[in-house]
A and B are shown apart, each in its own frame.
Chain A
Amino acid sequence: MQDILIIRSASFQQLDKNLPEIIRRFPNCRVSLLTHEHGVEPAKKYKELDQIYVYPHKSSFHPGRRVPELNGKTFDLVIVLVANVSGAGFLNVLRFALTIRAGRYYICNLVSNIREVRPATIRKKHVLNICHTVAAGCATLITAPMAALFLLVQWKRLSRKKT
């Protein structure tokens, strides 16, 4: 019996599609779900779920915002749902997944393709993204003053006319 934790980083509509595929791929398993607070009641509808953990933060999954309830727990698999095909834009969730102790880590995408991602691959991507962060930060520093000035000039025109 394998213990699986699914991180619900996509919609319930997608989870509806993904969950049967996950269970087909890993037939002998006990499935738990990690979801934000607003997802707890909808998640209770899945009879396949053994346990629901609450992500106790308002913002998105991030390695800096952990789940105390999962401290000391170990799963055989952690599966991250991604709302596109490639998984682009979900590095924060993958890095968060690494904060949870597990034997293996997987991605399940929009069309229910399930593939393993190695921690080393996630860390390598993170290093690359540090470079992207620096470049994007520099570009923002150059752009932001112009954008701020532009918005300040436009602000009054945007404001609703008083009746």
Chain B
Amino acid sequence: MSNALVSIVILCWNRKDDVRESLSRIRESTYKNLEIIAVDNGSTDGTQEMIESEFPEVRLLRMSSNIGIAAYNVGFAQARGKYIVILDDDSFPEKHAIERMVQRFEADPKLGVVAFDVRNYYSIDDIKIIDEAPENDGASPNESYIMSFNGAGAGVRADVFRRVGYYPEEFFLYNNELDTALRVWDAGYTIRSFPDIVGYHKHSPINRNSWRAPFFYTRNAFWVVWKNYPIRPAFRVTLELIFRCFYHSLEQRTWIYLKAMWSAFARIGQLMGKRKPVHPDIVRRLRVPVNINFTFYR
């Protein structure tokens, strides 16, 4: 079995206890050739001090302020591993997950991303992990559509990630995985999920303001389309997004979607030079439920 170096990149911001638990769980991993990089987005709750004192094996990268997902890219650029595992500060891989992930990557050179089956942390004892025989990897081979991945638990082939570019820094938060997924598929690599590769996510209510998710999901949905879609589907989906911004503003009695739409147009300068349409077939086959962006307002 391969013993390739795997870099784990975890992004932290003011969740000291969750980070402590995630890093402790990572220590239980059955795969030992790990490089752990914690990128801290300017925490003020003692997260940095805790990592330094309790986890000397972790490489801590300090950001001076919260720069959102751009901080991930700092960690990705520093990673030396053949594969990179992406985690949130409140998520961690099941102890066999990284070992199985490496096996799957080594067996399939066109596998670009392994999307972990991300489950609720509080059900950790209830979830039955499926042990597949090697000839039956458990992934569904007959999917009529293709998928993105969840940034709370995913493994990425590092050279593919470098080739297609890391996360879109201008997004700040949310929908960054979809942008990356489009580029991974367009580069000729696949994104697959395996039921025996599991991650756990606490989905902490801490640091989740109610306006952030609807605002950034909606604004970034426009930007994903403008950056990556060929011109005809780009216009069609933009039209749909505009309609949905008006519709869901009325339905949910909020201005947040209109603000997000305005921001998408007003700050379009941030996308300059970044448009690179993917193959139309990728857009046709990738499952992008546009309406989901409008379900986060409480």
- Residues of A bordering B, CB below 8 Å: 11-14, 16-17, 20, 36-38, 40-42, 44-47, 58-60, 82-86, 88-92, 129, 132-133, 135-137, 139-140, 143-144, 147-148, 150-151, 154-155, 157-161
Contact = CB atoms under 8 A, between A and B. Distances in A.
A46 B117 CA distance: 13
A84 B298 contact: yes
B251 A41 contact: no
Interface in B91-135: 117-120, 122-123, 126-130
Contact of A16 (B120, B144, B195): B120
Q: How large is the interface on B (under 10, 10 to 19, 20 to 34, 35 or more residues)?
A: 35 or more
A59 B130 contact: no
A143 B257 CA distance: 15
Given A12-B117, A132-B251, A158-B273, A84 B243 contact: no
Contacts of B117: 12, 42, 45
Main secondary structure on B side of the interface with A: mixed
Contact of A160 (B119, B238, B275, B297): B275
A17 B247 contact: no
Interface string B240-280: 00111011111110000000000001001001111110000
Contacts of B250: 132, 135-136
A82 to B, nearest CB: 7
Interface in B66-103: none
Contacts of B252: 86, 88-89
Nearest to A40: B140
A60 B119 contact: no
Contact of A158 (B145, B193, B226): B226
Given A37-B143, A41-B195, A133-B247, A84 B118 contact: no
B248 A89 contact: yes
B239 A140 contact: yes
A150 B250 CA distance: 25
A93 to B, nearest CB: 10
Given A16-B127, A38-B140, A91-B251, 8 more contacts: A14-B120, A16-B126, A17-B122, A89-B291, A132-B247, A151-B226, A157-B272, A160-B274
